[in-house]
A and B are shown apart, each in its own frame.
Chain A
Amino acid sequence: MSDRREDDALLIYPEPQRLPESVRSALEGGEEVVALAKTDMRGGDYGEDYVVLTNARLLVVNERLVEALPLDKVKSVSIRGYINTCVLVAEVDGGQRSLAVFTRGRLEVFDRLVAIANNIVIGKVPYQLLKEQLLNRVREEEERRRLSSTRAAILRLLGLLRPIAPVLVATVVVAVAIRVVGLIPPYLMKILVDEVLTKGRADLLLHVILGLLAVNLVNTVLNSLNAYINTRFNVGVTNTLRARVYRKLHELSLTHYDRFGSGGLWSRIVDDVNRVQWFLSVAFVPLFINAAMVAFVGVTLATLNPWLTLVALTPIPVSVTANIIYRKTASRYYHRLWRKWSRIVSVISDTINAAILVKSFGKEEEFTRKFEGYQTEFERAQMDVFKFEQQIWPAVGLAFTVSSLLVWWFGSKDVLQGAMTLGSLMAFTSYMWQFYSPVFGLIENVRNLQLLGVAAGRIFEILDIEPDVREPPDAVHVELTGNVECDNVWFTYDGIHYALKGVTTRIRSGERVGLVGPSGSGKTTLAKLLLHLYDPQVGSVRFDGVDARRIKLSSLKEQVAIVLQNPVLLDTTIAENIAVGKPGATPEEIIAAAKAAKAHDFIMRLPEAYDTEVGMQGSRLSGGERARVALAAALLKDPKILILDEPTAALDALTEDEVTEELERLTRGRTTIIIAHRLSTLRFTDRIIVMENGRIVEEGTHEELLKRDGLYKRLWEAQLKGLMRMGAAEVGGEARGELVAVARAA
């Protein structure tokens, strides 16, 4: 039993001959296998079952047919996750049915199978369309796999770097030239010893000295040129790649931002690009240099003395073996050292960051003991690293010393017997040391080429992404009036968990709608779909009757605005942050928008007022201030549709009351969707939509919903009870403010 192999992948529309016999015999006439996945467990132990999704049934097969569920009886398919295992579950009439068990190692494969099954049973995607899309995906994946091999990634990388190809070639040529020129001095020294000093040919002395001078001059020029070209090359690589990846970032949909995380994207733009540049300069370019050097010096050595050349080669196998052992084993020792160190850091960090906890619980002694214990372990790990290194490198050094002594021994004998000149022996030993370095360099280069392929592959992972939201060439500009319709909208971020399940609603132009529900009920996801940040997998979002997919993205972005719960500001001035929605806005417009958002007063209290720099992500402003700036930006845009995601969440109760009143005025006649946890914010809305678990469960006015004994009433009562309790405890003005707001709403 081992980890995933190639044949364990999800098979999509496999050819009949690739199907196991038991699966083939379980199929009925005309039944087509859409996807087949193999489990790695059966019951409570390792084993194998086949889960087969056909165009008509969901089957579990091992040596025989274990389970067969007609798809028209299956409502949905899902996965239950446990510590190590997962269970494939089908929702059928009468409840859920557990079908097969597998370890988390197979989760990715079954995630995909579930998504495909749900596209059929939930999404009701037309079968031909589903088949076409899946086969396209298979072809794309095959292509991606082909392109992601190390060799392919490096070749593609070179293709990307075509604009700087002349610099790359120049880098290699100059670097090789420097090494070749470096081979000349030992040869001149040979002439000096053999001809000038031994045979007394004084006429050659000046030539040799001038030759050495010329070599040095050429070397100096080449080195300067090399430094210049190298800088050009490194800057060229990073700029070319970073620009490509950065441009791609703007094409990515939010799904990909979620998938990679901000850290992941950051590391690809900064770290991987730097890594590629570094590997190119330490692996790719030196590969040519070292290969050239091995060839030149090898031939020179063999010409000088073939027998001595063989002696000089003897330490290489020892050193290569030691290198391999070191590389395999060292990481374990260093990993241990790093783990021990990180424990020490973590205790120090806990002591500083949780000082109050440590002191109030009297944990000082315990922490000190822990720290000292980790310190001892770290020391031990350090000594182990030292011992390990001492077992390897002295032996390698000894091999080189012995080989060098043997060269001197045999070489000196040859010189004494007249078989070799003294100059040749000196030149030989000098070349010998020049030979070792490129040989080891080549080994390192090959390893680094693999890493270059990995780093390049990570960059291509981004560059190869197809955007989720793609604007068709015939997309149109629509002048919105504010009518929005969601028609059976199903949406999943990961292909497994549906954030929206068949949401259907209609919002009329100018209507103000509140969206409430527990966390994770799908409110924010629905708002993101209204902004066309994503496309629903099933169903459609329509603006004035036109499918969002058919509308120019720029058209929607101009006319729909959102104020996020945790608004993100750009690292620039308050004025520019407000004007972000309307480039070229006049100062008067900016002030008017800020006043409307109740931001003007706090801005004017700042010494630099509207010209205040807000810092990275608005860090110099408080949460409430950021919320008001973001609201001002949205209002300045004067959108046809305004989406407010918890617009008052970061405000204190009294300011919230003020802002809510202002919102009431500002949103009059404008289609507005307000997501809110504090139900008091929704007092002016025309209708409230209540969501739970991805579905709309109730709709109506505040009064209508209170009359029903539903989720809204429960939420309302829970909030009221909480506030009454706060009021009773007389905790201060804030609670009274909230009570005032709720009382007004009620």
Chain B
Amino acid sequence: MSSLPSLGQLKLLDPSRVRVVDARLDELDVEIDGRLYRGVRPKRPFPFSHPQIVILYSGDEELGILRDYRRLDPKSRELLEQVLRVIYFMPRIRKVLSIRSVEGKYEWRVLTDKGELTFQTWGRCVRVLHDGRLVVRDIYSRAYLVEEPEKLDSRSRLYLSMMI
């Protein structure tokens, strides 16, 4: 483990001393060093760039940082991922079926890993992440991820190029 710059005291958690015992929607029951915390909420400080880092909160208190939650034991990891799926729910766009302009907005019909979706966006709606992935935000600020834009079919790429 590389040493962190000493910008402040970081409370790093040892994954072997963290055990998730239960999960419910966006909350976990977690045992850290043998002490049980109920209603713990995991948050990703870098949800797009470093999703493996998770900070655990009990109310407003920061319990500590998991630098890579995937190092938790399988059961704990599964429960944590179950909660992360609720908190960071984000459909992946596999294909853009159509984009049409409706009353000053854009109506997208897309095929995602969660099925076919229709949503509306404003003009500025696509953010290009540093690794080339795209995040499309609809008028409710919901995000949809395009993981490998260059691998989409040509029609989808044409539609996306109109919006970037």
Contact = CB atoms under 8 A, between A and B. Distances in A.
A85 interface: yes
A107 B140 contact: yes
B50 to A, nearest CB: 15
A interface SS class: mixed
Given A98-B24, A98-B26, A104-B142, A335 B162 contact: yes
Nearest to B43: A82
B99 A332 contact: yes
Given A2-B118, A3-B120, A98-B27, A332 B90 contact: no
B163 A85 contact: no
A84 B90 contact: yes
Residue from A99, A328, A332 whose CB has the most chain B CB atoms within 10 Å? A332
Interface in A49-96: 80, 82-85, 87, 95-96
A105 B142 CA distance: 7
Given A2-B118, A101-B26, A85 B140 contact: no
Contact of B86 (A101, A328, A331): A101
A632 interface: no
Interface in B96-118: 99-101, 103, 106, 114-118
A454 interface: yes
A103 B26 contact: no
A45 interface: yes
A3 B118 contact: yes
Nearest to B141: A104
B64 interface: no
Interface string B55-90: 000000000000000000000000000100111111
A1 B138 CA distance: 14
Contacts of A84: 88-90, 142-143
B39 A95 contact: yes
A44 B114 contact: no
B25 A101 contact: yes
A46 B88 CA distance: 13
Interface string A299-337: 000000000000000000000000000001001110110
Contacts of B99: 332
B132 interface: no
A162 interface: no
Contacts of A2: 117-119
A594 to B, nearest CB: 46
A454 B85 CA distance: 39
A339 interface: yes
Contact of A98 (B25, B89, B164): B25
Given A107-B140, A331-B101, A332-B101, A3 B119 contact: yes
A85 B87 contact: yes
Nearest to B107: A3
A1 B161 contact: no
Contacts of B119: 2-3, 105
A144 B114 CA distance: 36
Interface residues of B, number: 38
B86 A87 contact: yes
Interface residues of A, number: 33
Contacts of B161: 336
A41 interface: yes
Nearest to B86: A44
Interface in B27-72: 27, 38-39, 41, 47
Residue from B26, B90, B117, B120 whose CB has the most chain A CB atoms within 10 Å? B26
B90 to A, nearest CB: 5
B46 to A, nearest CB: 12
A335 B138 CA distance: 16
A384 B150 CA distance: 20
Given A44-B86, A101-B25, A103-B140, A95 B47 contact: no
Contacts of A3: 118-120, 138
Residue from B89, B124, B143 whose CB has the most chain A CB atoms within 10 Å? B89
Given A98-B26, A335-B162, A105 B138 contact: yes
Residue from B86, B138, B143 whose CB has the most chain A CB atoms within 10 Å? B86
Nearest to B158: A332
Given A3-B120, A107-B140, A332-B99, A83 B39 contact: no
A604 B25 CA distance: 66
Residue from B99, B116, B162 whose CB has the most chain A CB atoms within 10 Å? B162
A83 B88 contact: yes
A227 B126 CA distance: 46
B115 A46 contact: yes
Given A3-B119, A336-B161, A103 B86 contact: no
B164 A339 contact: yes
A583 interface: no
Interface string A425-455: 0000000000000000000000000000010
B38 A95 contact: yes
A43 B138 contact: no
A101 B118 CA distance: 20
Nearest to A3: B119
B40 to A, nearest CB: 11
A88 B86 CA distance: 12
Nearest to A338: B123
Interface in A84-133: 84-85, 87, 95-96, 98-101, 103-105, 107
Nearest to A100: B25
Nearest to A380: B161
Given A87-B86, A332-B101, A333-B162, A1 B114 contact: yes
Given A3-B119, A45-B114, A82-B88, A105 B26 contact: no
Nearest to A4: B140
A83 B114 contact: no
B114 A336 contact: no
Nearest to A94: B38
A339 B106 CA distance: 14
A85 B89 contact: yes
A529 B162 CA distance: 49
A332 B38 CA distance: 50
A85 B89 CA distance: 7
B163 A336 contact: yes
Contacts of A46: 114-115
B85 A44 contact: yes
Nearest to B162: A332
A105 B106 CA distance: 16
Given A46-B114, A104-B142, A41 B89 contact: yes
Nearest to A81: B141
Contacts of B90: 83-84
A328 B164 contact: no
Nearest to A46: B114
Nearest to A339: B164
8 contacts: A3-B138, A43-B25, A83-B90, A84-B143, A85-B89, A105-B140, A339-B124, A339-B164
Given A80-B41, A82-B26, A83-B143, 13 more contacts: A1-B114, A2-B119, A80-B26, A83-B87, A87-B25, A98-B27, A101-B25, A101-B86, A105-B142, A107-B140, A331-B101, A332-B101, A335-B163
The 3 closest A-B pairs by CB, nearest first: A44-B85, A98-B25, A2-B118
Interface of A: 1-3, 41, 43-46, 80, 82-85, 87, 95-96, 98-101, 103-105, 107, 328, 331-333, 335-336, 338-339, 454
